[in-house]
Amino acid sequence: MADHDFVVRARLAGTNEVPAVSSSARGAFEVRIARDGLSIAYTLDYSGLQGQVRQAHIHVAQRNVNGAIVLWLCGTPTNPGPAGTQTCPATGTVTGTLTATDLQVSATQQVTTFARVIEAIQDGVAYANVHTDLSPGGEIRGQLGSRSGH
C-alpha cells in the first residue's frame, strides 16, 4: 500500500442518518489518503442491516445535513454505480482505492475536484453511508472524523 499522510475513520449507525433511522446495524469506515493526494484507499465494514443493501457512498456535507454523492463505494444490480463500481455484499467488508476518475461531480455543492473531496474528508464535512431497500436514503451513516497524520 502507498505511503499515506492521513487516516480518517467513522462509525456508522442509523442514528447518524438524516432523518435518524431505527436500526441495530453497525458499520466502520476507514480512509487512507495518499500523501500525493491522488488516491484514497478505503475499508467499509457493515453488519446487521434490516434491509437488503443497495449501495454505499461518500457524500460531502456537514453533520446532520444530507449531501450529494461524490464517490461510490459499491452498488448492486438493482442500484449499480458507475462503470467499475464493485458489488456490495449483503454483509461484510468492501475495500478499494478511489481516484479522480471515480469522482461524481457535485457542482451545486462546489465539489468539482478530487482535491476538494479530500479537503472535505480532512475537514470532517464528508460522510459514508449504506443504503438499503427499507431505508433508501441510508440505513447507517458515519461522519468522517478522527483525523490522524502518519
Per the CB < 8 A criterion, the answer to whether 2 and 99 are in contact is no
**What architecture (CATH level 2) is domain 4-103+123-144?**
Sandwich (2.60)
Any residues with CB less than 8 A from the CB of 55 and at least 6 apart, and which? 72, 74, 75, 76, 79, 81, 88, 130, 131
Termini Cα distance of the chain: 14
- pLDDT reported for residue 146: 52
User: Over the stretch 34-64, which tens digit does the pLDDT of each residue have?
Assistant: 999 999 999 999 999 999 999 999 999 999 9
Strands (E), the chain: 4-13, 26-34, 40-47, 53-60, 69-74, 92-98, 126-132, 140-143, 145-149
Residue type, 102: D
Alpha helices in 50-113 (DSSP H): none
- Where are the chain's structural domains? 4-103+123-144
Task: Note the residue count of the chain.
Answer: 150
Strand partners, 37: none
User: Over the stretch 60-102, which tens digit does the pLDDT of each residue have?
Assistant: 999 999 999 999 999 999 999 999 999 999 999 999 999 999 9
